[in-house]
C-alpha cells in the first residue's frame, strides 16, 4: 500500500559526496513501485557515474540540456511534464542558491525552473558541510525556497566526509523515502493530534528483575507512522522496546504502567485521538526490593505480593474530554482465545467507541497481524497483512469516524 506506487519521479543529483546515498534512494524508489528518471549535473558526475544510476533506475540518464535523444531538443520541458515530482538529492548549497535566483545553466536547474508549479512539486534534500548549512546565506535561501513552495527536507546530524561533525548531512535513503511517502499520502488526519501508546511495560521486582510481556511495540509504532503520513501531529508513548522512532513523531520513553499513565496524562489534553496500543501490565509487585533477591540454598522461593496497576485506557476514556466527544478513544485487546467475546466485553467495560482486538501470541514480535474492529454496531475483520498496512487501514477507519 505504498503511496508512491505508480508515481513517476525525476531524481536529480547535484554535486556532493552524498550522491552515493542517491543510488540507494533510487533503488528504494524502484522497489516501492516508482518509475525513476535520473538527471545529473556535471558536478554530480564527479561523485557518481551515470552508468550506475542507469543500472539502478532501468532508464537512460540525462546529463545535458543539449541531449539529442529528445526529438525537439527540449529535455527540460519533456522530462518535467511527465513527472509527479522532482526530487533533488543531494541538493548542494550552490544548487539551492541557483533555485532561489531562478538560474538555469544546466539541465537539472532548467527543468526545475520550467516545471508546472501547480502540478509538479519540487522536493530537495540538502547536503553540505555543517558550516555551510549554518551560514546565514544558506538559512536565508532555505527560508525563501520554502516561501517559493519548494519542499525542503530536514538534514541529518553526524560525521561528515570532511572529518567534522554536525548538521548538514543528507538524510539516509530510508528517511527520504518515508518523507516522500508522507508527502504523497492523503492528509485525512490533517489538523488532528494523535496520541499513541505502544509496547510493553516493565514492573520491577528488584534492581535486576521484573515482570513484562512479549509485546514488541511494532503495531503501535506502525500506527504512529501511518497517522503522521496522514497529516496528524503524533505523540508516541513507548514502553521498553528497541525500535527506531518513526519520522516526524514525538517519542516519550517510559518503563512502568504508572510511568506510562503519567506520560499520557501530560500529553492527552492536546490530543484529539488516543490509541491505546500498549500491552500494559495488569499487576505489579507491591514493593520493589532495594537489592537483588538472592537464593539462599533452602529451596524456598520469595513471597511476592501484587497490586493492580492503573487502567490507562479506562482513565482516559472516563475523562470529561472523552465523554464530550472532544477526544476519540481507541482501545486494543490482545487475547489468547475467544477474541470476539472478550473484546466486545472489554469495549463495553472500558467505555470506548472503538476496540481493536487481536490474538496476542500469534502477533507479538511479528511484522504482520490480523485485526478485529469492534464498535457498538458489531465487528469487522481486517484480514492478515503487514502491520503498516493494517495501521493505514485503521487510520482510515478512524478518520472516517471523526467525520
The answer to whether residues 198 and 143 belong to one domain is no
- pTM of the predicted model, to two decimals? 0.91
The answer to whether residues 174 and 197 belong to one domain is no
**Contact criterion met (CB below 8 Å) for 95 and 109:** yes
The answer to whether residues 172 and 213 belong to one domain is no
Output the DSSP codes for 75-104. HHHHHHHT-SEEEEEEE-HHHHHHHHHT--
Segment 300-320 mean pLDDT? 93
The answer to whether residues 271 and 170 belong to one domain is no
**Contact criterion met (CB below 8 Å) for 150 and 99:** yes
pLDDT digits (tens, 9 = 90+) for 59-114: 999 999 888 887 787 888 889 898 999 999 999 999 999 999 999 999 999 999 99
In whole angstroms, what is the distance from residue 301 CA to residue 292 CA? 14
Instruction: Specify the CATH number for the domain of residue 336.
Output: 3.40.50.10300
Q: Catalytic residue, from 26, 112, 162, 329: name it.
A: 162
Question: Quick check: is 1 in a domain?
Answer: no
Given 132, 150, 184, the domain boundary residue is 184
Question: Quick check: is 83 in a domain?
Answer: yes
pLDDT digits (tens, 9 = 90+) for 7-45: 999 999 999 999 999 999 999 999 999 999 999 999 999
Q: Reduce the DSSP state of residue 179 to 3 states and report it.
A: helix
Q: Reduce the DSSP state of residue 156 to 3 states and report it.
A: strand
Question: Quick check: is 2 in a domain?
Answer: no
The answer to whether residues 280 and 197 belong to one domain is yes
Secondary structure of the chain: what % helix, strand, coil (to 5)? 35, 25, 40
In whole angstroms, what is the distance from residue 25 CA to residue 177 CA? 7
The answer to whether residues 163 and 234 belong to one domain is no
pLDDT value, residue 354: 97
Query: Counting Cβ atoms within 10 Å, is residue 90 exposed (0-12), middle (13-18) or buried (19+)?
Result: buried
Q: How confident is the model at residue 1 (pLDDT cuts 50, 70, 90)?
A: low
Segment 267-295 mean pLDDT? 94
Question: Quick check: is 111 in a domain?
Answer: yes
| 303, pLDDT greater than 90 | no
In whole angstroms, what is the distance from residue 187 CA to residue 64 CA? 37
| 355, pLDDT greater than 90 | yes
The answer to whether residues 238 and 372 belong to one domain is yes
Q: In this structure, are strands 368-375 and 354-359 parallel, antiparallel, or unpaired?
A: antiparallel
Find the Cα–Cα–Cα–Cα dihedral 241, 218, 172, 78, rounded to 10°.
-170
Given 123, 152, 184, the domain boundary residue is 184
Active site residue 329: no
Q: Reduce the DSSP state of residue 195 to 3 states and report it.
A: strand
Instruction: Specify the CATH number for the domain of residue 73.
Output: 3.40.50.1950
| 360, pLDDT greater than 80 | no
Q: In this structure, are strands 8-13 and 85-91 parallel, antiparallel, or unpaired?
A: parallel
Question: Quick check: is 29 in a domain?
Answer: yes
Question: Quick check: is 360 in a domain?
Answer: yes
Given 127, 156, 184, the domain boundary residue is 184
Q: How many domains does the chain have?
A: 2
Question: Quick check: is 156 in a domain?
Answer: yes
pLDDT digits (tens, 9 = 90+) for 214-234: 999 999 999 999 999 999 999
The answer to whether residues 299 and 333 belong to one domain is yes
HSE, side-chain direction, 13 A CA sphere, residue 134 = 7
Of all residues in the chain, the percent with pLDDT exceeding 90 is 85
Partners of 193 in the β-ladder: 233
What is the extent of the structural domain holding 159? 8-184
Residue 90: is the preceding peptide bond cis (ω within 30°)? yes
The answer to whether residues 200 and 167 belong to one domain is no
The answer to whether residues 164 and 212 belong to one domain is no
The answer to whether residues 89 and 112 belong to one domain is yes
Question: Quick check: is 263 in a domain?
Answer: yes
The answer to whether residues 72 and 136 belong to one domain is yes
Q: Dihedrals φ, ψ of 196, to 5°? A: -120, 135
Amino acid at each position: 500500500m505504498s503511496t508512491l506506487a505508480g508515481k513517476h519521479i525525476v531524481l536529480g543529483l547535484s554535486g556532493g559526496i552524498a550522491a552515493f546515498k542517491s543510488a540507494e534512494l533510487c533503488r528504494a524508489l524502484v522497489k516501492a513501485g516508482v518509475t525513476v528518471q535520473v538527471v545529473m549535473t556535471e558536478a554530480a558526475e564527479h561523485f557518481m557515474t551515470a552508468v550506475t544510476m542507469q543500472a539502478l533506475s532501468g532508464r537512460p540518464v540525462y546529463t545535458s540540456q543539449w541531449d539529442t535523444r529528445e526529438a525537439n531538443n527540449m529535455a527540460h520541458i519533456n522530462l518535467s511534464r511527465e513527472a509527479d515530482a522532482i526530487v533533488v538529492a543531494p541538493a548542494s548549497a550552490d544548487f539551492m542558491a541557483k533555485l532561489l535566483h531562478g538560474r538555469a545553466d544546466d539541465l537539472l536547474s532548467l527543468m526545475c525552473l520550467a516545471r508546472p508549479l501547480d502540478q509538479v512539486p519540487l522536493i530537495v534534500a540538502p547536503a553540505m558541510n555543517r558550516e555551510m548549512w549554518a551560514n546565514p546565506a544558506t538559512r536565508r535561501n532555505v527560508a525563501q525556497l520554502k516561501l517559493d513552495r519548494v519542499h525542503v527536507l530536514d538534514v541529518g546530524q553526524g560525521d561528515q566526509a570532511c572529518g567534522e561533525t554536525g548538521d548538514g548531512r543528507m538524510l539516509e535513503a530510508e528517511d527520504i523515502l518515508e518523507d516522500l511517502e508522507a508527502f504523497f499520502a492523503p492528509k485525512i488526519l490533517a489538523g488532528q493530534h494523535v496520541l499513541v501508546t505502544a509496547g510493553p511495560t516493565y514492573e520491577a521486582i528488584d534492581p535486576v528483575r521484573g515482570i513484562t510481556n512479549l509485546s514488541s511495540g511494532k503495531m503501535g509504532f506502525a500506527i504512529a507512522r501511518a497517522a503522521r503520513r496522514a497529516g496528524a501531529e503524533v505523540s508516541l508513548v513507548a514502553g521498553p522496546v528497541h525500535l527506531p522512532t518513526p519520522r516526524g513523531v514525538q517519542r516519550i520513553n517510559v518503563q512502568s504502567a504508572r510511568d506510562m499513565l503519567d506520560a499520557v496524562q501530560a500529553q492527552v489534553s492536546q490530543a484529539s485521538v488516543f490509541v491505546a496500543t500498549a500491552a500494559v501490565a495488569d499487576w505489579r509487585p507491591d514493593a520493589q526490593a532495594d537489592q537483588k533477591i538472592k537464593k539462599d540454598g533452602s529451596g524456598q522461593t520469595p513471597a511476592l505480593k501484587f497490586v493492580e496497576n492503573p487502567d490507562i485506557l479506562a482513565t482516559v476514556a472516563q475523562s470529561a474530554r472523552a465523554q464530550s466527544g472532544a477526544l476519540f478513544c481507541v482501545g486494543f485487546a490482545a487475547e489468547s482465545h475467544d477474541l470476539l467475546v472478550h473484546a466486545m466485553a472489554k469495549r463495553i467495560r472500558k467505555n470506548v467507541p472503538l476496540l481493536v482486538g487481536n490474538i496476542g501470541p500469534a502477533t507479538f514480535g511479528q511484522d504482520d497481524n490480523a485485526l478485529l474492529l469492534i464498535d457498538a454496531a458489531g465487528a469487522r475483520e481486517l484480514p492478515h497483512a503487514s502491520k503498516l498496512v493494517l495501521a493505514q487501514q485503521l487510520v482510515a477507519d478512524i478518520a472516517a469516524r471523526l467525520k
